[in-house]
Each structure stands twice: as structure tokens, then as C-alpha cells.
Amino acid sequence: MASAALPLRAAEQFTAGQDEIAATTDGKTQTFTHCITPDDAKGINADAKTGRELAEKAGKGLCTIRAYDVKGNTVSSTMACGDSVTTSSATYHSDSFEGDTTTTVTAGGKRITRIAHTEGKRLGACK
């Protein structure tokens, strides 16, 4: 939980570990597991400047971070990768998160937009 003294930080207690993630797009839900590393958790818990720097590093020069903002325990960003622009917002709790992602791709003069809703919960230590 963020404190009043740190208004630009995400949830301090979001911890590394194995997460079960359910992503719903076009009415279809896919569930999978993902290991949230200590570095991933560090980025989620970071202030906006540090979080943006970590996101840019993770993009390895292939993507550009257009916006990155942290308000309380919610992290929002916009990232451009070639002909694709992804805007996301996720709210983190100590052992769970939920968020929405909108990706717009322009190809062959057509613009395609996909919206996904994601929910995740921590299962325990990474396997």
C-alpha cells in the first residue's frame, strides 16, 4: 500500500513469485503462469522515473516508452513498437493485480485494436 509520503510509488508490498494470470481478449480467457522475478517486482514497486528506465531497458531499444506514470498502486504506460502502440494500466496489491491493455496495430492501411483485461494472483515461489 502506498503511503501519503510517497505518492508516486506503486504498491510497496508487491512481491516476486509465481503468478497465475488470466487474460481475457474478445471474450476468450487464457490462463497461464509466469514467474515475477525480483527485478520485475522492483520495477512494479518503483517510482515513475525508475519504472520508466527499467521498462526502456526491458524494451532493448526495440520499443519506445511514450508515457509512464505511477499513482498510488496503479502503474500506467504507453509503449510504441514499430507499427504497434500499447497503452496499459494495472493496479497492484501485495499478492494480486488487475489491469487493462489496449493495443493498436496499423498494417496495410488498416488499424486493428485489441483490448485485454488481465487478472493475476501470486501462487508462491517461482518454480
Q: What is the pLDDT of residues 2-43, one digit of tens each?
A: 333 333 344 446 788 999 999 999 999 999 999 988 888 887
Helix, strand, coil % in the chain, rounded to nearest 5: 15, 55, 30
Round the CA-based radius of gyration of the chain to a whole number and report it: 15
Work out the number of other CB atoms within 10 angstroms of the CB of residue 4: 5
**Distance between CA 5 and CA 118 in Å, rounded?**
29
pTM over 0.85: no
Sketch the domain layout of the chain as residue ranges: 17-124
Q: What is the pLDDT of residues 102-125, one digit of tens each?
A: 999 998 889 999 999 999 999 999
Spatial contact of 57 and 43, defined as CB atoms under 8 Å apart: no
